[in-house]
Amino acid sequence: MTQAAAEHVGLLLRDARGEKGWTQGQLAAELGTSQSAIARMEQGKQNLSLKMIERLETIFGRTIVKVGKPQMTHLRVEGGRTLSGAVDVNSSKNAGVALLCASLINRGTTTLRRLARIEEVNRIVEVLMSIGVECTWLNGNDLRIRRPETLDLASMDEEAARRTRSVIMLLGPLLDESEEYHLPYAGGCDLGTRTVEPHMQALRQFGLSVEAKSGFYAVTAPSADSHDRSFVLTERGDTVTENAIMAAAHREGTTVIRNASPNYMVQDLCFYLQGLGVEIDGVGTTTLKITGRPAIDVEIEYFPSEDPIEAMSLITAGIVTNSEVTIRRVPIEFMEIELAMLEQMGQQLDVSGEYTARNGRTRLVDVTTKPSTLTAAKDKIHPMPFPGLNIDNLPFFAVIAGNAEGQTMIHDWVYENRAIYLTELNKLGGQVQLLDPHRIYVNGPTKWRAAEIGCPPALRPAACLLLAMLAARGTSELRNIYVIERGYEDLAERLNTIGAKVEYFQD
């Protein structure tokens, strides 16, 4: 077996173990070997005999290795269909990954109910399992997480860690874990440079020191203290706020964070931490006051809230196909500006009365799209930190503007690359003009037409292509959809429940 093949088999083995929700130790016990042998196999440092692969396949009850090249998954879309019916919004990717990281603060068992089972979550679960955390999928989407007394940070699954940016959110929870350790560089979508400097600036306030080496950060952690501290974030970023909150949550003193993000995932994290007994004042505002607890050992179950970005995606499916579709469980606090903007463009929407999410806090509504005639927004559409139009919802306006009469300017000041990927809509008949890396004009209305397109390396632009394909008459193909699966669970199946015709295929 070549080194590359051994590494690939190692990844497949790790995936199969992840599906079972087993730690390396549990698989080792089933196989009658040591945890370190499993770690070597998964890292591709050990050639596996066919006999060993057969034994593993018997244990997992399924095939692990198929002969041939690793297969990518693609989607085939029969477009031009009118959609109808109702579909629920799932819990959010961004709260999910933060809560997984935060669970390390708790010595008791955390059960995350209805967690989105998406690739981004899978990567963080793999990272947690590689450092000894027991993660067990109970039924469908409920994940039980139990950390060991001591985490094995040296065994961290680098491959999984490098595929997600969210791994950076381990710094806060790990603050008092180990004096020195390495954290792989964070990866994720290719949206241009995304600095981690704001994280460093925030965590330095707690005494953490991080040195960037080649491919990893060398972290030197401070010893625990009970000081009060107060600082301002240089950026009102979501994950940096979460990292600072998580650091403060297991420090005895009181921490005041100013210019904090009040966004949805930050609120969800705060609700969970409050469940652990951490005092947090100012949830949903830009000033948070946190009084932590140095020892947290709580049995807790928590329901992450519904995803405003998934809500926007599903609403876009209704609008682009000019259909009447009901999107249930829309977190309205985080969608108000988006809905107001759509109404200004002439989109008719029915919005139900409010009800409460399973986390007991977030306000939800059902939104029904009605067939409408749209006109381009008069002013540019641009995002702002919450409470502004969500940056991750901005790309969907490129698809919607495609259906509108006239010219719309969309200004993505946040990401260097994301607007560029939206020009791929032109392959489907869109008329998107790139003015500079941050601004596009969308001219409409568009007669969407079928095409074969490879997914750009960015989740939301890739999802936009899929949504436009729903409106394009004929058969489209969207290739290599890992990037979509990073953020959406069973999106194709769920679109099919409201009348789309999307199928998976491999070649």
Ligand X SMILES: C=C(OP(=O)(O)O)C(=O)O
In angstroms, what is the minimal distance from the CB of 224 to ligand X?
Answer: 29
Residue 280 β-bridge partners = 290
Among 250, 288, 487, 498, binds ligand X (CB under 6 A): 487
Q: Kindly indicate which of the ranges 79-87, 183-191, 300-308, 324-332 contains the residues binding ligand X, using the contact rule CB under 6 A.
A: 183-191
Whole-angstrom distance, CA of residue 352 vs CA of residue 339: 13
Binds 414: which of ligand UD1, ligand X, none (CB < 5-8 Å by kind): ligand UD1
CB neighbours of residue 111 within 10 Å: 18
Note the Cα 484 to chain centre separation in Å.
10
In angstroms, what is the minimal distance from the CB of 313 to ligand X?
Answer: 10
Whole-angstrom distance, CA of residue 171 vs CA of residue 129: 17
Whole-angstrom distance, CA of residue 260 vs CA of residue 242: 9
Residue 110 β-bridge partners = 145, 300
Q: With respect to ligand X, which residue has the nearer C-beta, 262 or 383?
A: 383
Q: Kindly indicate which of the ranges 1-9, 186-194, 261-269, 423-431 contains the residues binding ligand X, using the contact rule CB under 6 A.
A: 186-194
Contacts of 58 (CB under 8 A, 6+ apart): none
Residue 257 β-bridge partners = 231, 288
Q: With respect to ligand X, which residue has the nearer C-beta, 127 or 221?
A: 127
Element (H, E) at 248: helix 238-249
Q: With respect to ligand X, which residue has the nearer C-beta, 203 or 265?
A: 265
Q: With respect to ligand X, which residue has the nearer C-beta, 44 or 383?
A: 383
Contact 123, 160 (CB under 8 A): yes
In angstroms, what is the minimal distance from the CB of 438 to ligand UD1?
Answer: 11
Binding to ligand X in span 159-178, by CB under 6 A = 165-166
Q: With respect to ligand UD1, which residue has the nearer C-beta, 240 or 283?
A: 240
In angstroms, what is the minimal distance from the CB of 270 to ligand X?
Answer: 19
In SS3 terms, 49-94 reads as: CHHHHHHHHHHHCCCCCCCCCCCCEEEEEEECCCCEEEEECCECHH
100 binds ligand X (CB under 6 A): no
Q: With respect to ligand X, which residue has the nearer C-beta, 130 or 164?
A: 164
Binds 236: which of ligand UD1, ligand X, none (CB < 5-8 Å by kind): ligand UD1
Residues lying near ligand UD1 in the complex (CB under 6 A):
94, 97, 165-166, 194-195, 235-240, 265, 385, 391-392, 414
Whole-angstrom distance, CA of residue 377 vs CA of residue 108: 51
Binds 189: which of ligand UD1, ligand X, none (CB < 5-8 Å by kind): ligand X
Q: With respect to ligand UD1, which residue has the nearer C-beta, 323 or 393?
A: 393
Note the Cα 162 to chain centre separation in Å.
14
Whole-angstrom distance, CA of residue 7 vs CA of residue 27: 18
Six-digit token pair at 500? Answer: 């789309």
Are β-strands 180-184 and 216-220 bridged in parallel, bridged antiparallel, or unpaired?
antiparallel
Contact 73, 481 (CB under 8 A): yes
Phi and psi at 224, nearest 5°, equal -60, 150
96 binds ligand X (CB under 6 A): no
Q: With respect to ligand X, which residue has the nearer C-beta, 92 or 408?
A: 92
In angstroms, what is the minimal distance from the CB of 163 to ligand X?
Answer: 10
| Mask for 352-391, x = binds ligand X (CB under 6 A) | ----------------------------------------
320 binds ligand X (CB under 6 A): no
Secondary structure of residue 217 in the 3-state scheme: strand
Binds 262: which of ligand UD1, ligand X, none (CB < 5-8 Å by kind): none
Six-digit token pair at 113? Answer: 């109910």
In angstroms, what is the minimal distance from the CB of 31 to ligand UD1?
Answer: 35
Contacts of 204 (CB under 8 A, 6+ apart): none
Whole-angstrom distance, CA of residue 278 vs CA of residue 108: 14
Q: With respect to ligand UD1, which residue has the nearer C-beta, 186 or 502?
A: 186
Phi and psi at 333, nearest 5°, equal -60, -30
Q: Kindly indicate which of the ranges 39-47, 187-195, 265-273, 284-292 contains the residues binding ligand X, using the contact rule CB under 6 A.
A: 187-195
392 binds ligand X (CB under 6 A): yes
Whole-angstrom distance, CA of residue 482 vs CA of residue 400: 24
In angstroms, what is the minimal distance from the CB of 73 to ligand X?
Answer: 19
112 binds ligand X (CB under 6 A): no
In angstroms, what is the minimal distance from the CB of 486 to ligand X?
Answer: 7
188 binds ligand X (CB under 6 A): yes
Q: With respect to ligand X, which residue has the nearer C-beta, 147 or 438?
A: 438
189 binds ligand X (CB under 6 A): yes
459 binds ligand X (CB under 6 A): yes
In angstroms, what is the minimal distance from the CB of 309 to ligand UD1?
Answer: 7
242 binds ligand X (CB under 6 A): no
Among 424, 460, 468, 502, binds ligand X (CB under 6 A): 460
Q: Is the dihedral of CA 250, 253, 254, 256 positive or negative?
A: negative
The string over 156-169, giving b where at least 16 C-beta atoms fall within 10 Å of a residue's C-beta and e elsewhere, is bbbbbbbbbbbbbb
Name all contacts of 278-284 with Cβ < 8 Å and 24+ positions apart.
Answer: 278/249, 280/245
In angstroms, what is the minimal distance from the CB of 191 to ligand X?
Answer: 6
Give the end-to-end CA distance of the chain in Å, rounded to a whole number: 23
Question: Which residues of the chain form contacts with ligand X (CB under 6 A)?
Answer: 165-166, 188-189, 191, 392, 459-460, 487
